[in-house]
Chain A
Amino acid sequence: MLIFLFVLGGAFKPAYGLDAKDLVKRVEQQSLGRSFHGRLRMTIERPEGKRELEILSWAEGHDKALVKVLKPEKDRGSANLRLEFNLWQYLPKVERTIKVPPSLMLQSWMGSDFTNDDLVKTSRLSRDYECKIEKEEILDKRKLIKLDCRPNPNAPVVWGRLELWVEPGKATVMRQNFYLENGEMAKELVGQNVKSFGSHTLASRLVMKTIKKNTTTTLEYLDANFDLPIDKNIFTQGQLQAPLKAQE
């Protein structure tokens, strides 16, 4: 568990001469890149038991994402495709693709603490939120910049406010708090085990906690490739249905 070791109080001038917009853009560039293809493990922990999933993910820019389930076997081949604000779900048992409502973005993905929106990243920090550098804090022996982000008017977002703690050198997000519109903190995301994947440095282990339910889901990058060219046909409904091996 990540612990606050020391908190610098008081008003804080823009650290390292950083501009919030620039930092947010670097954060997005660091976490998404031009493209991403990787394998991730998701562990859902509940008082009643633990569930583990392994997924394959492809993403290009902010608008295209494909997620396929590898494990467990009972969900193997289930998939989601997002193109801009359009979301499709694939049910392998009947080989059926169905367009699902954008409002489903706020619902849990496969029963985890991550939402569909978290998995396929519909909302975009730099476009949908106005972020300000609040202060510098030391968290788990790391000097971090705290950002306070409020949604722009009419932005298609789920959250009323976000707080981010960013390592300024590599623009790596180490912690994120999610607030509802009524100001209640709903979730917290803690980054652990910082690793470099090519030119991208990320927390390779993300622990999402739902505050009210006291439940956690851990997402680990098992394999991550950034900025490699991805076949444009990957992000199509045809490939949503394609057998797993053919596109790995």
Chain B
Amino acid sequence: MNEFWPHLLLSLCLALPASGLETHWQFHGEGLLQRRSLNQSGFESSSTRMEGFGLVDSAFTASGAEFFFEAKPQVRLVQSPGVKSPGPGVASVGMAPRWLNSRRVIQRAEDRAVYADWDRLNGRWQSRLESGYAEISLGRRPISLGVLRFFPVWNKFTLPLSFTPGPEWIDNPDGAMARYQSQDLSLRAIEIQGQGSAHDAVSLVEAKFSRQNMDAQILVGDWESRETAGLGLAVDHWGATWRLESLHFEPRRSGHGSTTAGTDQVGLGFERALSAEWTVALEYYQQSLCVEKIGGFGVAPLSDVQVLNGCRYVLPYVDYQINSLWHAGIGSLIQLGDRSGMGFFSAIYSMSDDSTLEFKVKQSFGRRGSEFGSARYKDPLGRTMGAQSTAYLLWSTTL
């Protein structure tokens, strides 16, 4: 499979312009210099280090009235000087194994890793019908669900989040999607294949209805062998958009995973512009499968369907448009149980039509043993692991 796909796709990319479809190439590169503070003792020789990340990709699209094809090969690399074993930097660039096993390890050393994979690889067919239109897509592409800005109640496929450390790169899933849209009503069926096991598959149906000042959504299906159902709402009122997402997971029927327990997740939020420059947002999140006591946190999430382990969180966020070229945002994730959290600040500068420079700080805070504290986990050997803090400078160019 690995040998076959690149050749087929390269042939397609070269042949499609001749077929009358409109083609488009886009080239993108990112360079990221990061200072990472690991908050650990006993696991690594160095807790603070500078790391360098790089990402290069090229997107090719071919489109016609009813057909669209997209291919985007991507190379990611990390250089973590001083690391004696695979560090978290490698995890940031590793690219998750997916159904189409096309990842290539170009180089892998103690302090350096280079991976190549398809970031996107999909075909879409769209047809206009008497009552609306229908679309079918097949392949690797981003799948984004839900209405909230920050908390991933529904939106579990376009992680990572603004409060997770490291580069904010996502691994798009492999799957199939069918959509029918008629005016205010949209129906979407999504099938996502995991790493090959039937237990990793996600099968969802999403119905979305928009009317007047409200978007109402329902999500039902099977999420990695868990029956699931949820409700999403986005309502405009008093100049703000108010958002609600809920998702109920039944206990997992089978397969591997950190837990088989069911869980309920709920998120609420609002966003409002205060002036031409200032926007504020506030989101609240709670989940039933959680750790309440300080010192009870492990290194991994309690469940495959959640990234946080506390019970209740709040996230205030302020966005400021300094001028047309500068933009800044500041926010903080606060775990309400142990008062720990992660503050984040970003400043983005548009250097030119093609390039952007971004400075971002993510600083964790909290007591020892708290979720975002300096030593949230202690192993039997007495080694401790805490939340990370990072600061990075990201340069990005798209041509």
Contacts and interface: CB of A to CB of B under 8 A. Distances in A.
B3 to A, nearest CB: 29
Interface stretch (A9-17, A94-102, A132-140, A222-230): A94-102
Q: What are the 5 tightest A-B residue pairs by CB atom distance, in nearest-first order? A: A111-B324, A245-B63, A238-B181, A96-B144, A74-B398
A98 B147 contact: yes
Contact of B276 (A72, A101, A107): A107
A89 B63 CA distance: 23
Interface in B316-338: 321, 323-325, 327
B272 A245 contact: no
Contact of A99 (B181, B215, B398): B215
Interface string B365-399: 00000000000000000000000000000001111
B239 A49 contact: no
A143 to B, nearest CB: 35
Nearest to B241: A101
Interface stretch (B38-46, B101-109, B135-143, B303-311): B135-143
A73 B399 contact: yes
Given A74-B398, A243-B63, A232 B279 contact: no
Interface stretch (B74-82, B194-202, B257-265, B352-360): B352-360
A101 B242 CA distance: 8
Interface residues of B, number: 65
Contacts of A51: 324-325, 350, 352-353
A44 B276 contact: no
Contact of B236 (A52, A101, A231, A243): A101
A108 to B, nearest CB: 6
A204 interface: no
Main secondary structure of the interface of A (DSSP, over half): mixed
A158 B8 CA distance: 54
Given A85-B213, A95-B143, A245-B63, A236 B186 contact: yes
Given A46-B324, A245-B61, 13 more contacts: A51-B325, A72-B354, A74-B355, A86-B210, A96-B142, A99-B241, A101-B271, A104-B279, A107-B277, A107-B279, A215-B324, A239-B133, A244-B63
B398 A245 contact: no
5 contacts: A72-B354, A74-B396, A103-B273, A115-B276, A245-B64
Given A46-B323, A96-B158, A232-B183, A246 B144 contact: no
B215 to A, nearest CB: 5
Contacts of A49: 325, 352
Interface in A169-223: 213, 215
Interface in A67-87: 71-74, 76, 83-86
B240 interface: yes
Contact of A246 (B65, B141, B272): B65
A112 interface: yes
B273 A86 contact: no
Contacts of A111: 321, 323-325, 327, 350
B256 interface: no
A52 B353 contact: yes
A22 interface: no
A72 B353 contact: yes
A237 interface: yes
A215 B323 CA distance: 10
A44 B324 contact: yes
B210 A237 contact: yes
B98 interface: no
Interface of A: 44, 46, 48-49, 51-52, 71-74, 76, 83-86, 93-108, 111-112, 115, 213, 215, 231-233, 236-239, 242-246
Interface string B176-196: 000101111010000000000
A96 B212 CA distance: 21
A94 B144 contact: yes
B181 A236 contact: yes
B323 A213 contact: yes
Contacts of B61: 243, 245
B26 A73 contact: yes
A237 B324 contact: no
A125 B65 CA distance: 36
B273 A104 contact: yes
**Which of A85, A86, A105, A244 has the most chain B CB within a 10 Å cutoff?**
A86
Interface stretch (B124-132, B218-226, B283-291, B292-300): B124-132
Nearest to B67: A246
A242 B133 CA distance: 11
B22 interface: yes
Contacts of B279: 104, 107
Nearest to B124: A243
A231 B288 CA distance: 46
B142 A83 contact: no
Contacts of A107: 273, 276-277, 279, 321
Contacts of A84: 212
B20 to A, nearest CB: 12
Contacts of B274: 103
B149 interface: yes
B242 to A, nearest CB: 9
A99 B22 CA distance: 31
